[in-house]
């Protein structure tokens, strides 16, 4: 069962199950985060949450004030801001659980892929940790993506090397069989 964290008044609350979110009353603009997401996103962008958005159960927070008068209607007002990451990074000390640091994966790449790129991954893990510790959540997310990139480059280079090696081996082995027959 997936569990979701949501932002209420720029405070992270949760985790909640879908049922709990439904009774809590969230709208399409509520920032949500669940495992597997790199960033907070508006609930309206999460397919699984469509069923629980704007349910008239319990207390429901009003939609964000968008400026403009009644006569204009909500559609003609300025578009709601989706700059969730930067604004919450400045306002809240911790906008979600610490992003993946990729430390374990980097250690495994270091030990098995024979490539010093794993060490680069571990060093990047420290950037995730320090940015998150200082409350710079958006920076931590970015550092996490960097760390993941280095680790994946190390992994794929290692795998490509192995595949090339096996192909060469099969080629030489095959050539030897043909030459002997």
Partner 1 sequence: MTPRHTLIMWTIVGVVAMVVYFFFDPATENFFPGCVFLKLTGLKCPGCGSQRAVHSLLHLDFAAAFRYNALLVVSLPVVFFLLVVEMLRTRRPHLYRRVHSQAVIWTIVAIVLAWWVLRNLL
What is the distance between the alpha carbons of residues 95 and 85, in angstroms, rounded to a whole number?
9
Contacts of 28 (CB under 8 A, 6+ apart): 42, 43, 44, 53, 54
- Show the tokens assigned to 48: 């699984």
User: Binding to partner 1 by residue 110, rule CB under 8 A?
Assistant: yes
Would you call 77 helix, strand, or coil by DSSP? Answer: coil
Cβ proximity to partner 1, 28 vs 158, nearer residue: 158
Which residue, 136, 118, 114, is CA-closest to 127?
A: 136
Angle at 20 (CA atoms; ends 17, 21), nearest 5 degrees:
85
Binding-site size for partner 1 (CB under 8 A) equals 36
Would you call 15 helix, strand, or coil by DSSP? Answer: strand
User: Binding to partner 1 by residue 103, rule CB under 8 A?
Assistant: yes
What is the distance between the alpha carbons of residues 109 and 105, in angstroms, rounded to a whole number?
6
- Show the tokens assigned to 61: 């927070």
Cβ proximity to partner 1, 38 vs 98, nearer residue: 98
Cβ proximity to partner 1, 28 vs 115, nearer residue: 115
13, 166, 175, 176: which one contacts partner 1 (CB under 8 A)?
166
User: Binding to partner 1 by residue 142, rule CB under 8 A?
Assistant: no
User: Binding to partner 1 by residue 25, rule CB under 8 A?
Assistant: no
Cβ proximity to partner 1, 10 vs 72, nearer residue: 10
Angle at 102 (CA atoms; ends 101, 106), nearest 5 degrees:
135
User: Binding to partner 1 by residue 122, rule CB under 8 A?
Assistant: yes
82, 156, 165, 171: which one contacts partner 1 (CB under 8 A)?
165
116, 174, 175, 176: which one contacts partner 1 (CB under 8 A)?
116
- Show the tokens assigned to 16: 């909640």
Find the part of the chain contacting partner 1 (CB under 8 A) among 19-27, 58-66, 77-85, 121-129: 121-129
Q: What is the contact surface with partner 1 in residues (CB under 8 A)? A: 3, 15, 34-36, 97-98, 100-101, 103-104, 107-108, 110-116, 118-119, 122-123, 125-126, 128-130, 132-133, 161-162, 165-166, 169
């Amino acid at each position: 069962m997936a569990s979701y964290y949501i932002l209420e008044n720029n405070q992270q609350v949760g985790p909640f199950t879908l049922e709990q979110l439904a009774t809590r009353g969230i709208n399409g603009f509520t920032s949500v985060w669940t495992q597997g997401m790199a960033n907070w996103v508006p609930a309206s962008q999460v397919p699984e949450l469509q069923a629980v958005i704007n349910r008239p159960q319990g207390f429901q927070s009003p939609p964000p004030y968008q400026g403009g008068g009644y006569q204009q209607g909500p559609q003609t007002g300025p578009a709601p801001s989706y700059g969730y990451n930067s604004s919450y990074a400045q306002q809240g000390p911790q906008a979600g659980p610490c992003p993946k640091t990729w430390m374990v994966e980097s250690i495994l790449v270091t030990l098995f892929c024979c490539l010093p790129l794993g060490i680069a991954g571990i060093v990047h893990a420290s950037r995730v940790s320090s940015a998150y510790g200082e409350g710079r959540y958006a920076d931590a997310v970015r550092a996490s993506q960097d760390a993941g990139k280095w680790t994946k480059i190390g992994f794929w280079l290692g795998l490509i090397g192995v595949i090339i090696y096996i192909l060469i081996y099969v080629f030489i082995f095959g050539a030897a069989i043909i030459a002997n027959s």
